[in-house]
């Protein structure tokens, strides 16, 4: 471990948590500038009084980070645990309408990882209660889960929302196996069978899906918002069940072939590798849109992880020997390393924070280096000195730190600790509020910084966890023993005792419009 840096991250966690605890304990979300909390759900009593109760977003998202940090966070953890035990069920009784996806990845994932790390059965009990409340989302007559369990009006959903529930529901079923409750497993698994049948010839998948019949809607292919974690969970479902379900490896391998052929590009000046979106334009073959979300930077680490797990029996060395990797693995490893350099280039702003999205320039575009947010290779769309666009923000996102952590664990190269430290010091310098908490920065390329009044829950569950783990001993959460859900909640790798029903790989469909 690098104890000094690791402990600096623990101090940051304490600074973020204690502000929340003091101002808004029990609330779902925290607003550190106005020192208040807010909840995601409200209900109106018969006499017309609107009340809201937290369903644990911030508390549950932070539990496993506190467990990992150990002694310095022990009193905070005990208080959070007591809240989950006593107050959480009262919140659930009032719940109006929640997002299936966000509730699964943040709170179901958080309860399950707290259970895994503490072995306290209370967390599993809460997870089972929540799972049962979410099950109606996989309702009769639907091919993909609805965005909200109790509201099925909308007929479309995103592929990330439909296919980022599987690690959580499968582990829940596995942990409850004494009760022989397989419904959680099979409901989540069924979605994967539908998506397997729908995939395109390229191995890729558009980001919009019709929940009624499971078909894809005409829409872009994205490694950023609404698409990202579908691709992430193809690999992670394979890892989760100890590499026993080869159907996920096949789907993942096909998808990454499509990514490599169609979505990976190089910038004309510095030769950085980046990832595009594929935006369908009627009547044109050219689908490229050079927008890269901060979210898409998860792919760098994911490609490296996939390269070292794409082997049936061997455990790869650190760093892997080229001879230990398959041909696809060698390609993915190289591109993963390069993508991470491209993502780190987007931290070259006045604050050292990476923006929400950048656009990479094609070589026929003139660079405008004297405007704010303008670099040679990429720029922030709509950047202006007067009003920052949405793309210019840093909302305390984790994806670059996540890929840096994976690169550190898989290579052992010290430069990644330097990257992590640079990310951390930029956050300390520009997002930390002296009175307590951390806030969204409105424009990463304008000084002095302006804030938005929000501390996202994933700052506690993901960003600070990945930074902490990069400086901790590497046997803390060994990548051979756990798999992280998309909210950075570590779940154990296990050999399944429930018999998978989705095992058959289907042939691919021609692209839409052809
Ligand atoms: C949010 O929920 C918590 C816990 O149930 C409650 O204590 C708090 O008053 C609620 N906050 C608001 C702003 O309604
Ligand atoms: C989804 O599929 C159903 C059944 O095929 C169809 O009636 C509906 O119009 C479709 N929705 C969209 C948004 O395409
Ligand atoms: C995973 O599989 C390997 C061999 O196939 C076995 O030795 C190992 O114990 C399994 N791990 C788990 C967690 O089941």
Q: Among the atoms of ligand 2, which is closest to the Cα of residue 156?
A: 13
How confident is the model at residue 429, as a pLDDT? 98
Average confidence (pLDDT) over 386-405:
95
Nearest CA to ligand 1 atom 14: 52
Q: What is the pLDDT of residue 41?
A: 77
Q: What's the pLDDT score for residue 494?
A: 98
Spatial neighbors of 460 by CB under 8 A, at least 6 apart, are 13, 16, 17, 58, 61, 62, 65
Short-list 347, 395, 336, 200, CA closest to 278: 200
**Is 470 assigned to a binding site?**
no
CA atoms within 13 A on the CB side of 86: 7
- The per-residue pLDDT of the chain, averaged, comes to 91
Does residue 244 have a pLDDT over 90?
yes
Other beta carbons within 10 angstroms of residue 334's beta carbon come to 16
The pLDDT, as a whole number, for residue 199 is 82
Two structure tokens written together for 280? 């369908």
CA 219, 396, 290, 374: dihedral to nearest 10 degrees?
A: 150
Q: What is the 3-state secondary structure (H, E, C) of 121-165?
A: HHHHHHHHHHHHHHHHHHCCCCCCCCCECCECCCCEEEHHHHCCC
| Partner residues linked to 374 by β-bridges | 379
Catalytic annotation, residues: 102, 228, 356, 399
The pLDDT value recorded for residue 510 is: 58
Mean pLDDT of 140-148: 69
Structure tokens of 78?
């005990």
Q: What pLDDT does residue 514 have?
A: 38
- Ligand 2 atom 6: residue of nearest CA: 212
Could you tell me if 34 and 86 are in contact, meaning their C-beta atoms sit under 8 angstroms apart? no
Please identify which residue in the block is written with the tokens 């979410």. Answer: 134
* Ligand 2 center–CA 209 separation, angstroms: 10
Q: Is there a contact between 472 and 6 (Cβ–Cβ < 8 Å)?
A: yes
Give the lowest-confidence range in 72-86, 365-379, 389-403, 427-441. Answer: 365-379
Q: Is the CB of 218 under 6 A from ligand 2?
A: no
Chain centroid to Cα 373, Å, comes to 26
């Amino acid at each position: 471990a690098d104890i000094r840096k690791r402990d600096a991250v623990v101090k940051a966690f304490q600074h973020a948590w204690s502000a929340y605890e003091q101002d808004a304990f029990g609330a779902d979300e925290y607003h550190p500038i106005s020192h208040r909390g807010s909840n995601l759900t409200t209900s109106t009593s018969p006499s017309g009084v609107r009340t809201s109760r937290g369903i644990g977003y911030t508390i549950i998202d932070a539990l496993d980070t506190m467990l990992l940090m150990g002694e310095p966070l022990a009193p905070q953890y005990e208080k959070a645990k007591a809240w989950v035990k006593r107050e959480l069920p009262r919140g659930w009784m009032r719940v109006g309408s929640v997002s299936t996806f966000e509730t699964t990845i943040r709170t179901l994932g958080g309860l399950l990882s707290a259970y895994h790390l503490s072995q306290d059965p209370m967390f599993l009990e809460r997870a089972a209660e929540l799972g049962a409340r979410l099950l109606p989302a996989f309702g009769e007559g639907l091919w993909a889960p609805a965005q909200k369990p109790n509201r099925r009006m909308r007929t479309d959903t995103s592929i990330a929302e439909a296919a980022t529930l599987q690690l959580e529901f499968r582990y829940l079923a596995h942990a409850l196996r004494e009760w022989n409750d397989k419904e959680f497993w099979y409901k989540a698994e069924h979605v994967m069978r539908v998506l397997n049948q729908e995939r395109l010839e390229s191995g890729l998948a558009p980001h919009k899906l019709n929940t009624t019949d499971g078909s894809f809607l005409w829409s872009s292919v994205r490694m950023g918002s609404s698409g990202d974690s579908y691709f992430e969970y193809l690999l992670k479902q394979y890892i989760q069940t100890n590499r026993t379900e080869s159907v996920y490896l096949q789907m993942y391998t096909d998808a990454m072939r499509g990514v490599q052929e169609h979505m990976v590009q190089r910038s004309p000046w510095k030769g950085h590798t980046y990832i595009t979106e594929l935006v369908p334009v009627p009547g044109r073959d050219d689908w490229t849109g050079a927008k890269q979300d901060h979210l898409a930077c998860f792919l760098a680490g994911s490609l490296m992880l996939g390269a070292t797990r794409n082997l049936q029996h061997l455990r790869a060395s650190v760093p892997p020997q080229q001879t230990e990797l398959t041909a696809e693995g060698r390609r993915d490893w190289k591109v993963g390393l390069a993508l991470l350099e491209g993502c780190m280039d987007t931290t070259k702003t006045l604050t050292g924070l990476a923006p929400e999205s950048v656009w990479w320039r094609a070589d026929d575009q003139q660079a405008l280096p004297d405007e704010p947010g303008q670099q040679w290779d990429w720029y922030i769309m709509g950047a202006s000195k007067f009003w920052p666009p949405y793309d210019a923000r840093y909302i305390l996102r984790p994806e670059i730190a996540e890929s840096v952590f994976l690169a550190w664990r898989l290579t052992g190269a010290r430069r990644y600790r330097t990257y992590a430290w640079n990310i951390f010091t930029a956050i300390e310098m520009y997002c930390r509020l002296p009175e307590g908490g951390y806030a969204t920065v409105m424009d990463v390329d304008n000084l002095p910084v302006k804030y938005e009044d929000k501390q996202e829950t994933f700052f506690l569950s993901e960003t600070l966890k990945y930074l902490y783990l990069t400086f901790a001993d590497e046997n803390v959460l060994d990548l051979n023993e756990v798999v992280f859900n998309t909210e950075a909640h570590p779940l154990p790798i296990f050999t399944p005792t429930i018999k998978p029903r989705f095992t058959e790989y289907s042939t691919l469909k021609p692209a839409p419009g052809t």
